[in-house]
């Protein structure tokens, strides 16, 4: 894209948004929201209701207190963390 040999690319979020921010003169996002949604999960030992209960309750609690949304927004909607990692 940057060298003019491609007209479009698809990548996992947040790469397209961050690349468009770094190179606004050459790149833009024609659709602001992801067009494919994925689902992440935890692997648990089959037949372990205590672990399942723990994770389900942790997820529910972190959704209700806003922590998961805050982390998602920090990592996927800002570049506040970028100076802390090498590129």
Residues 39-63 pLDDT 10s:
778 789 999 999 999 999 999 999 9
Longest dimension (CA), the chain: 54
Question: Cα-flanking dihedrals φ and ψ of residue 64, to 5°?
Answer: -70, -35
Instruction: Provide CB contacts within 8 A for 23, sequence distance 6+.
Output: 2
Q: What is the pLDDT of residues 6-16, one digit of tens each?
A: 778 788 888 88
- pTM score: 0.61
Contact 75, 81 (CB under 8 A): yes
Cβ-proximal residues to 76 (8 Å cutoff; 6+ apart), any chain: 13, 14
């Amino acid at each position: 894209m940057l060298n003019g040999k491609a007209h479009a690319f698809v990548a996992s979020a947040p790469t397209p948004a961050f690349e468009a921010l770094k190179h606004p003169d050459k790149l833009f996002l024609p659709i602001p929201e992801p067009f494919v949604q994925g689902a992440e999960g935890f692997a648990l030992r089959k037949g372990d209701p205590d672990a399942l209960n723990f994770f389900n309750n942790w997820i529910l609690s972190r959704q209700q207190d806003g922590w998961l949304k805050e982390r998602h927004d920090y990592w996927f909607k800002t570049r506040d963390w970028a100076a802390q990692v090498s590129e």
